[in-house]
Structure 1
């Protein structure tokens, strides 16, 4: 019944995104010694409608103002990270640990949002 509320749907999607990102990070760490393995990551969680056009069109005020083209779309799919470590792959354990902490924080944030909105619904129904 309450799963149809947008705030709950957003919290659930954020938690699912964080879990999927944590899975990719764990796979990166597990393959830290695999030769030629390239680290993967999920693009940022987007609150926008995926069917909406997210094309960014900058305007240049003078010739050469924008030196390189910007990506047309943001927040889509798995990103393969560039880089090379000493053992011939693209996994940095320090970077993966930072990303893991970010992902854990995002999951905790999603659960806090879900829990606080559930408490608001309970209070509005007169239940503690």
Structure 2
């Protein structure tokens, strides 16, 4: 039932993306001392959501604007840090920042989901 509502679908996809990225960040942190280990990261949520099988967002009015370059929705490139002498490219500081981003994304998905449920309850006459 909820899969047909775009906001619910997006909140679910955001939660799944946060879970996937959490696994990657945890794997990077666990292998911080492994010689030759290369740090990995997932694609941004916006890129992965647009690339999914869902219909792309479309403008319904010629006055609608595209996402501007300065918007937080646009992907910002992060320069890769150097590799340690043993060939490991994991930076614990960067991984901790990524972990904070993952938590923020997960909290955002839960907040969107709760708000959508509250809207649906209100629309059918029930209070949360």
How many residues align? The count is: 102
Q: Distance in 2 between matches of 1:124 and 1:48?
A: 30
Unaligned runs of 5+ in 1: 54-74, 76-80
Name the structure where helix makes up a greater proportion of residues: 2
Compare 41-50 and 113-122 and name the one that shifted more. Answer: 41-50
Deviating beyond 6 angstroms after TM superposition, the runs of 4 or more aligned structure 1 residues are none
Structure possessing the higher radius of gyration over alpha carbons: 1
Where does residue 48 of structure 1 map in the other structure?
50
Encode CA deviations 1:76-105: one digit per residue, 9 max, x unaligned: xxxxx6631354300000000000000110
| TM-score, reference length from structure 1 | 0.72
Q: Distance in 1 between matches of 2:85 and 2:99?
A: 22
Unaligned runs of 5+ in 2: 57-74
Q: Distance in 1 between matches of 2:51 and 2:88?
A: 35
CA contact (8 A) 1:39 1:90 kept: yes
